[in-house]
Structure 1
Amino acid sequence: MKLLLRLVISTLAVLVASKLVPGVFIEDTGTAIVVAIVLGILNTFLRPVLQILALPITILTLGLFYFVVNVFIIYLATYLVSGFEIDGFISALFFGLIVSVVSSILGMFLD
């Protein structure tokens, strides 16, 4: 049940971010669900590997390279999901930030 609620929260966060950030296009709600699932899978399995590989650069840039890893994950999701498009780096950056903030705020009510 908690997994389903997390999926709903992630989907709502993706929908909110797509409405707030110019340059982000999501075809419909079904696509938003798929984007939420793909981002969850990529964040679970690929992000830790990328963070370990990018650790020297992240330390050198005082943690700012973490945002580049986040944008790369989002670009990979746009490649994997048809109906989900992002125009540029800044749009992907703000999309990721808004999805994180909205998911965190809505997730507080779950716990």
Structure 2
Amino acid sequence: MKKFVIKIGVNAVALWVASLILKSGITFDRAGGSNVQLVETVLIVALIFGLVNTFIRPIVKLFSLGLIVLTVGLITFVINALMLMLTSAICGHLAVHFHVKNFVAALIGSLIITAVSMVLHTVLPDDAK
């Protein structure tokens, strides 16, 4: 359970940093709300993003295994961007105020999210070590 909470927290921070860097490409809309509502929205999006990456991403990677080998893994960046866009679409259906403007924003955002997540996972303690 602790590992799950840490993973959601890391996703939340990474998504928030991506939205700060790509101000017009990835947005968390406060809808007139407070900072507390913004934090709640970021955590909900992080949970949805984590679920998408846990259940859907492995299936997509399995079906695109040939492309992964052919492109020496570079297609993985496209898959990550598509997972971010899927998260945005799911949030739209659930009335969660998160939006990814286009594929380019999703691609750059997924790179930022990956970099921030790697740094945070390096800094945070791991129970397995």
* TM-score, normalization by structure 2: 0.78
CA–CA distance in 2 between the matches of 1:10 and 1:39?
8
1:48-87 CA distances to partner (integer Å, 9 max, x unpaired)? 1111101112222332221221111111100111311111
Q: Counterpart in 1 of 2:26?
A: 24
Identity across the alignment (%):
31
1:103 maps to 117
Larger radius of gyration: 2
- Paired residues, what number? 111
Residues 25-104 of structure 1: pairs in structure 2 closer than 5 A? 25-27=27-29, 28-81=38-91, 82-104=96-118
Q: Which consecutive residues of structure 2, in runs of 5 or more, have no partner in the other structure?
A: 30-37
Letter in 2 for 1:51: K
Choose 74-83 or 5-14, whichever is displaced more. 5-14
AA partner of residue 13 (structure 1)? A
Shift of residue 97, structure 1, vs aligned partner: 1.0
Residues 6 and 57 of structure 1, relative CA distance in 2, 3 Å threshold: closer
Counterpart secondary structure, 1:85: strand
For 2:8 and 2:78, locate their aligned partners in 1 and report how far apart those are by CA, in whole Å. 24
TM-score w.r.t. length of structure 1: 0.89
> Offset at 1:17?
0.8
More helix by share: 1
Deviations 1:16-66 (A, max 9, x none): 110001411112222211111111111111111111101112222332221
Q: Which has the higher contact order (CA 8 A, sep 6+)?
A: 1
Secondary structure of the corresponding residue to residue 35 of structure 1? helix
Question: C-alpha distance in 2, partners of 1:62/1:5?
Answer: 30
